Amino acid sequence: MVKDIKTNEFEAKVLGSDKPVLVDFWASWCGPCKMLSPAVDAVSEQLDGKAEFYKVNVDEEPSLAQQFGIMSIPTLILFKNGELKDQSIGVIPESDIKAFVEKEI
């Protein structure tokens, strides 16, 4: 499952996790974001228990978008042990999302 995350929970839930954490930065007005999110949902089911999945609405949480220098959405960022491991911009297929997360499992 991909859960919404707010700025005040980000530190504890994302940066504080010892599992890989994928964060999907999106917005309601972004067509490609709506293409990507069902694929992220599917990967979150496949990797259930092995990785965490969150999404950030950049309209509601502009400070998180700014903190990570988001200038294009959708953007996926992979974290592990509080570190930013990798970043992917734009729509990518489900298999690529899975591989993107799996390399940190």
Partner 1 sequence: MKDLIIAGSGPAGLSAAVYASNAMLDFVVIEKFPMSGGQMLNTYEINNYLGFELVDGFTLGQTFRAHAEKSGAQFVNDEITSIEKIDGGYRVICGKGECEAKTVIYALGANPRKLGAKGEKDFAGRGVSYCATCDGNFFRGRPTAVIGGGDVALEDALYLANICSEVYLIHRRDEFRGAKYLQDKVLKNEKIKILYSTQVEEIRGENKVESLLLDNGDELKVDGVFVAVGIEANTALAEGICELENGFVKAGESGETTAEGFFAAGDVRTKRLRQISTSVGDGANAVHSVEEFLNKQQ
Residue 30 is a catalytic residue: yes
Tokens of 67: 């903190």
Smallest distance from partner 1 to CB 97, Å: 11
Rank residues 99 and 105 by Cβ distance to partner 1 and give the closer one. Answer: 99
- Contact positions vs partner 1 (CB under 8 A): 27, 29-36, 38-39, 58-59, 65, 69-75, 87, 89-91, 93-95
- In the block, which residue shows the tokens 């996926």? 76
Catalytic pick from 21, 33, 51, 77?
33
Instruction: Supply the minimum distance, in Å, between the C-beta of residue 12 and partner 1.
Output: 27
- Find the distance separating the first CA and the last CA of the chain, reported in whole Å: 17
CA distance 66 to 37: 21
Report the alpha-carbon angle 90-26-9, nearest 5.
Answer: 130
Residues annotated as catalytic are 30, 33
